[in-house]
Amino acid sequence: MEACDETIKELSSIYDEESMDTFVSLYFDGKDNKFIYRREEAVMAILKGEELENFLKTMEEIKRFLGKKFAGNVAIFASHKHGYLKVVDIPVKTKNALIVDSSPYIRPLAELTDTWESFTLVLLNTNHARIFSVSCSRIAEKKRLSAYIMNKHKKGGWSQARFQRLRKGSIHAFFVEVMEELEKYASENIIIAGPGQAKHEFKSILPKRLQEKVVDIIDVDIEDEHGLFKESMAVMAEKEMEEKRDTMQYLKKEILRDGLGVCGVDEVVEASRNGQIELLLIEKGYKLRGWICENCQAVGKGTAKDCPYCHGKTSEVDVIEEIIEFAERTDAKVEFISSDEIKNLGHVVALLRYK
């Protein structure tokens, strides 16, 4: 499982059991400090008593953290009351937001990380290899290998044939060594890259189970890491898009034959509360004003002064955020897509585990 997914799952599983506004979620570009002060003022004008006290202490902790570190784009989820502070570095520009609620606000993070499927990258030629692990759009070098391989052109007294045989043998031995390392780090997706023929030869010696994971082979200079990272991210994004289009087609069929597909907010809310969702597809950027019952956790569209089921106190929420949280808690895969299809299907579509 990816680090991103784990983080989101952890965040989705925590909430204040007394339904108090104790969690601060801050998405911050690291620049506009005025934004934080402005939101602080607004929140301080609304909260009272214990909640206000907790907010002030939580903000102190957040600011202490921000002061320590040169902040780029970051998401911080914190609650003094729960002794909780989680920081997620975000490699792309984020929209500033400071939200106070009874649980962490994970929607923007879920949308951002949706396109970052993890993969393993092998950059190699005949005598150098580097293995990278890319997760949450962060790149980590796992291993660097090199071997002494004889020059392409023979020297000394060996016959050409003997020389070529030896050279081939030592390249093969080097590839086997790289493969053994790759086995340790390989994720579900592998990209092989490098100049010339080496990358193709390397792929051909991989066992079938690894070959099947190879998403693409990229021709690139051995020194051009930067270009390679860029290109491989694009390859993965394209793969992701294709998979989403396939998923959408599959879901449409399931809905048509009244199978395991459901669409529209009401049905999807119901399914998410029952833990039935295997996969959730959401229209990118779509929000829907609604309410949640602080007593029985029922969720509905529009406004409700008190809960129609138990008459408990309600608070205003984004229904889509609640669906995401329910789904994440039960291990569903959550994805975002922009298309007219999903709009027409009521902005949210889900594949059920059972019916």
CB of 297 to Zn ion, least distance (A): 7
Q: What is the dihedral of CA 12, 89, 95, 290, to 10 degrees?
A: 0
CB of 218 to Zn ion, least distance (A): 54
Residue 19's φ and ψ, nearest 5 degrees, are 55, 35
**Who contacts 277 (Cβ-Cβ below 8 Å, separation ≥6)?**
268, 271, 326, 327, 330, 332, 350, 351, 352, 353
CB of 13 to Zn ion, least distance (A): 21
Kindly tell me which of 72 and 312 has the beta carbon lying closer to Zn ion.
312
Give the CA angle between residues 240, 341, 108 to the nearest 5°. Answer: 55
Kindly tell me which of 30 and 312 has the beta carbon lying closer to Zn ion.
312
Kindly tell me which of 75 and 323 has the beta carbon lying closer to Zn ion.
323
d(CA 334, CA 328): 7
DSSP string of 238-264, one letter each residue: HHHHHHHHHHHHHHHHHHHTTSSEEES
Kindly tell me which of 124 and 293 has the beta carbon lying closer to Zn ion.
293
Contacts to Zn ion by CB under 5 A: 293, 295-296, 298, 307, 309-310, 312
CB of 312 to Zn ion, least distance (A): 4
Kindly tell me which of 259 and 312 has the beta carbon lying closer to Zn ion.
312
Kindly tell me which of 220 and 293 has the beta carbon lying closer to Zn ion.
293
CB of 341 to Zn ion, least distance (A): 34
CB of 22 to Zn ion, least distance (A): 20
Kindly tell me which of 197 and 315 has the beta carbon lying closer to Zn ion.
315
d(CA 314, CA 297): 9
To which H or E segment does residue 275 belong?
none
CB of 300 to Zn ion, least distance (A): 10
Helix H segments across 32-80?
33-46, 49-68
Structure tokens at 37: 């002060």
d(CA 354, CA 336): 22
Q: Strands 277-283, 333-337: parallel, antiparallel or unpaired by DSSP?
A: parallel
Kindly tell me which of 144 and 311 has the beta carbon lying closer to Zn ion.
311
Judged by phi (left if over 0) then psi (alpha if -120 to 50, else beta), residue 166 lies in alpha
Q: How many CB atoms lie within 10 A of CB 138?
A: 13
By C-alpha distance, which of 212, 166, 168 is closest to 186? 212
CB of 293 to Zn ion, least distance (A): 3
